[in-house]
Amino acid sequence: MCGIIGYIGYKEAYPFLVNGLKKLEYRGYDSSGIAVFCENKYSICKTKGSVSELEKKIFLSNTNMKGTVGIGHTRWATHGIPDDINAHPHVSNSNELIMIHNGIIENYHAIKIILLENGFTFKSETDTEVLVNLIEYIKKENKFSLEKAVRISLNEIIGAYSIAIIDKYNPETIIVAKLGSPIALGINEKEFFISSDPIPFINYTKNVLYLKDGEMAIIKKNKKLDLRKIIDNHKLNPIIEKLKINLKEIEKGKYKYFMLKEIYEQPKSILNTLRGRLLIQNKKKEIIISIDGIDSNKNVFINAKCITIIACGSSWHASLIGEYLLEKFTRIPVEVEYASEFRYRNPIIDKKDIIIVISQSGETADTLSALKLAKEKGAFVFGICNVVGSSIARNVNAGVYTHAGPEIGVASTKSFTAQITVLILLALKIGKYKSVIDKTLYKNLCRELICIPKKIYNTLKIDKHIKKISHIYYKVNNFLYLGRGINFPVALEGSLKLKEISYIHAEGYPAAEMKHGPIALVDEKTPIVIIAIKDRYYEKIIANIQEIKARKGKIIAIINEEDIQIRMLVDHVIKIPKISEELSPLITIIPLQLLAYQIADICGKNVDKPRNLAKSVTVE
Ligand code: M6R
């Protein structure tokens, strides 16, 4: 996690650094700091809290932030509490080297002991302060250049990093390096922008270089960038790409929060996920699903003995939906694993197994490590990612982008429905390859998929009604979410949304499982959100509703528009359009996203930046 930023060029660095950090706050926002360099001096300001707090502190303390070179950081604490001292940048003992870091140095403790034995002292509890001092130690002991000292030090450490470091006596050079955590360089003729992702610099340049793992760049004012391999100093040829991000996609526009904007964007984002992939062939009126990553690996999918889907958080919930779909349409056994669990239990992987990794950010450390392990064991790894060019996307054997557009709110919304859309396409496509899916079902579901954006658009109209319900329940301490079959993972996702942005405790359960324990929680104060659409579980769900009502629980039921039976039994209904069971999660999740949003907003929470969380979890 953490966001890093840097600038070297001919303009004042501070405005870019401070505005860039605001755009990176989705990566962490518990403390922040900036250092700006001018000749052989630098000014540094750090604070606990957001980048706005930092801006205020700089203004009130009258810190001189003049200079055309600088670095900045927004933190998600790993080593040490969020406070001014643990905030980055960190400065070496001699005050000469100033560094920012995203990632974790796993062997920092052993290095710290050596440095302490050699007279170094530490102000903070961070692993970063250890690394900057290791670089200083190696530099001074051996009279190495900064470049060489950085390279040697990085070869000594275990862990993940993206760093930027400056020597105050040579502030015309910034050295950046990457292993595990992302780093993008924006390149203009006479200026360089450094950032954890390209969004902060898209207003300035469309030329981007994504550093790869094990690479370092020596960036000098008015000079060409020098790209090297960290391991052996081998010179590399920088491959500069053109950015294709639309600015409107990263602005809040008329919405109070990005999360609300992203919920409302779902008709469009799903259309983008489907674009060019669901094709109607006019002559035969046949519907074709076309996905390069699958088409070019047809035999791998046809011959797969087993599929394991690996992900975290909301992407894990989408994976559970994928399990239902893939098993149903392809008849291939599917397992779903938490990435963090998968990699530590020596999983049994056959060469004929397919591993699917799902990640919005494409940077989640646990998922990335699981992917690498699966590849080492010889599996074919297929990725479903949203962020183009992300580490996971670059490391898989083949994959598909969800094309949901940038998701800035920490709570996943449009990326979740885009992942489900891709999983539906994938399951239908493999089922067709293997001729195990009923032809009429295939055709009907493809046709219905085309109508999903319109159905979501219509579903969003219930927002006002949901707001009224939210006003009734925003003060409760516990919620239960129930669903069955393919809508059980939707219940899990609904409860995660509420928990993460409103801090109200919520549990998701398969509705029938309630009587095995969770029913003990039901009383007149407990709201139970239940997905009760007309599918094959309908009658069973009605029985569950009766059981809750017998214990005076308050029920908010997600029902189909034409349903009249459940309406009579429950406290509140939220109506959604009729939809096939297999595609229903794309619609049933919408009211749950809105409910979580409205409750959190009424509670006055910062919806886009919930406490303790960050958008991409790049630490294990
Ligand atoms: O970027 P990823 O999809 O790999 O992220 C996985 C989780 O960290 C993410 O889904 C998280 O649970 C969200 N905050 C949920 O809203």
What is the tens place of the pLDDT at every residue in 311-353?
Answer: 999 999 999 999 999 999 999 999 999 999 998 888 888 888 9
E runs forming strands in 459-526: 478-483, 505-510
Q: Give the mutation target among 319, 336, 364 for probing the ligand 1 site: most ligand atoms within 8 A of CB.
A: 364
Question: What separation in Å is there between the alpha carbon of 159 and the centre of ligand 1?
Answer: 22
Question: Which residue's CA is the closest to the ligand 1 atom numbered 11?
Answer: 313
Fold category of 258-437 in CATH = Rossmann fold (3.40.50)
pTM of the model: 0.81
pLDDT value of residue 500: 96
389, β-bridge pairs = none
Q: Residue 186: CA atoms inside 13 Å, Cβ hemisphere, count?
A: 23
The three-state secondary structure class of 285 is coil
Percent above pLDDT 70 for the chain: 99
C-alpha distance from residue 464 to each of 438, 470, 481, 598 (Å): 40, 10, 21, 9
In 3D space, the residue among 528, 450, 524 whose CA is nearest the CA of residue 494 turns out to be 528
Q: How far is CA 34 from CA 21, 364, 427, 432, in A?
A: 9, 26, 48, 55
The domain over range 3-245 is classified in CATH as 3.60.20.10: yes
- Catalytic residue, chosen from 2, 45, 385, 446, is 2
Label each residue of 544-583 as H, E or C. HHHHHHHCCCEEEEEEECCCCCHHHCCCEEEEECCCCHHH
Instruction: State yes or no: pLDDT of 571 exceeds 90.
Output: yes
d(CA 503, CA 477): 9
**pLDDT surpassing 80 at residue 284:** no
At 461-494, the pLDDT tens digits run 999 999 999 999 999 999 999 999 999 999 999 9
What value does the mean pLDDT take over residues 542-569?
Answer: 93
- Distance, CA 313 to ligand 1 centroid (Å)? 5
Q: pLDDT band at residue 104, thresholds of 50, 70 and 90? A: confident
DSSP H stretches of helix in 357-477: 365-376, 391-395, 414-433, 439-459, 463-473
The pLDDT of residue 141: 96
Q: Is residue 2 among the annotated active site residues?
A: yes
List the domain boundaries for the chain: 3-245, 258-437, 461-602
Question: CA triplet 70, 71, 76: central angle to 5 degrees?
Answer: 160
Helices and strands of the chain, counted as H and E runs: 19, 27
Task: Write the pLDDT tens digit of every residue in 129-169.
Answer: 999 999 999 999 999 999 999 999 999 999 889 999 999 99
Q: Please report the pLDDT score of residue 517 as a whole number.
A: 85
Mean pLDDT of 526-541: 93
pLDDT the model gives residue 298: 93
Is pLDDT of 383 > 90?
A: yes
Q: Where are the beta strands (DSSP E) in 29-124?
A: 31-38, 41-48, 69-75, 90-91, 97-105
Mutate-to-test residue for ligand 1 from 361, 384, 392, 607, highest number of ligand atoms within 8 A of CB: 361
Residue 122 pLDDT greater than 90, yes or no: yes
Residue 30 has pLDDT above 90, yes or no: no
pLDDT of 515 reads 83
Residue 601 has pLDDT above 80, yes or no: yes
- List the one residue out of 226, 249, 238, 29 whose CA is nearest residue 146: 226
- Catalytic annotation, pick one of 22, 178, 605, 615: 615
Distance 361 CA to ligand 1 centre (A): 8
Residue of minimum CA distance from atom 12 in ligand 1: 313
Task: Examine the residue annotation and report whether 615 is marked as an active-site residue of this protein.
Answer: yes
Most informative mutation of 314, 319, 338 for ligand 1 (most atoms within 8 A of CB) = 314
453 band by pLDDT with thresholds 50, 70 and 90 = very high
| More confidently predicted of 77 and 289 | 289
pLDDT tens digits for range 164-194: 999 999 999 999 999 988 899 999 999 999 9
Kindly list the protein residues whose Cβ atom lies closer than 6 A to any atom of ligand 1. 312-315, 359-361, 364, 367, 410-412, 496, 500, 613, 616-617
CB 87 within 8 A of CB 4: no
| pLDDT of 247 strictly over 80 | no
> 556 and 571 in contact (C-beta within 8 Å)?
yes
pLDDT tens column, 65-90: 999 999 999 988 777 888 899 999 99
Give the pLDDT score at 233. 96
Q: Was domain 461-602 assigned CATH 3.40.50.10490? A: yes
**Bond before 82 cis per omega within 30 degrees:** no
Rounded to the nearest whole angstrom, what is the distance from the C-alpha of residue 156 to the centroid of ligand 1? 31
Say yes or no: do domains 258-437 and 461-602 share a fold: yes
Which residue's structure tokens are 């393919």? 486
Residue with token string 């509140």: 572
Q: What is the mean pLDDT of the chain?
A: 93
263-289 mean pLDDT: 89
8-44 burial, b for 16+ CB within 10 Å, e for fewer?
Answer: bbeeebbebbbebbbbbbbbbbbbbbbbbbbeeebbb
Give the Å distance between the CA of 317 and the centre of ligand 1: 10
- Give the nearest ligand 1 atom to 364 CA: 4
